[in-house]
Amino acid sequence: GPKVLQIPSHQIIDMGQMVTLNCDPVSNHLYFYWYKQILGQQMEFLVNFYNGKVMEKSKLFKDQFSVERPDGSYFTLKIQPTALEDSAVYFCASSLGLGALEQYFGPGTRLTVL
């Protein structure tokens, strides 16, 4: 099936540093998402993005978070500064468009904040 790639697979950083998580969505998809999963538990929606803009964000999407996709390159999630509670696995997803909304997920980036 369609593949979403995420780089890196693991990231360890010190609290207060900035981190950027990268996602390469399915090539013709137009809608992009970030989700957060702690300790293999519930997957929680963070934000979705279309046509260069945030469409919707949850209460988990703190002011320290930002997303962008400059010129069709990676779809990124930036956290600045990081906090201990940001440790989790972050999943990127993409979907084609309205009327074809099946979301495909990447393998996740495991972020550890020390």
Partner 1 sequence: GDKVKQSPSALSLQEGTNSALRCNFSIAATTVQWFLQNPRGSLINLFYLVPGTKENGRLKSAFDSKESYSTLHIRDAQLEDSGTYFCAAGNNYAQGLTFGLGTRVSVFP
Interface of this chain with partner 1, residues 32 to 61, rule: CB under 8 A:
33, 35, 40-48, 50, 55-56, 58
Query: Least Å distance between CB 16 and partner 1?
Result: 27
Query: Least Å distance between CB 107 and partner 1?
Result: 5
* Residue pair 82/21 in contact by the 8 Å Cβ criterion: no
Binding residues with partner 1: total (CB under 8 A): 30
Residue 89 within binding range of partner 1, rule CB under 8 A: yes
Cα distances (Å, whole numbers) of residue 5 to 9, 58, 106, 114: 10, 23, 5, 25
Residue 65 within binding range of partner 1, rule CB under 8 A: no
Question: Residues with Cβ < 8 Å from 101, sequence gap 6 or more?
Answer: 31, 95
Nearer to partner 1, 10 or 16 (CB): 10
* Residue pair 37/44 in contact by the 8 Å Cβ criterion: yes
Q: Write down how long the chain is.
A: 114
At residue 61's C-alpha, the angle toward residues 60 and 65, to 5°, is 140
Query: Least Å distance between CB 27 and partner 1?
Result: 17
Residue numbers at the binding site for partner 1 (CB under 8 A) = 1, 31, 33, 35, 40-48, 50, 55-56, 58, 89, 91, 95, 97-98, 101-105, 107-108, 110
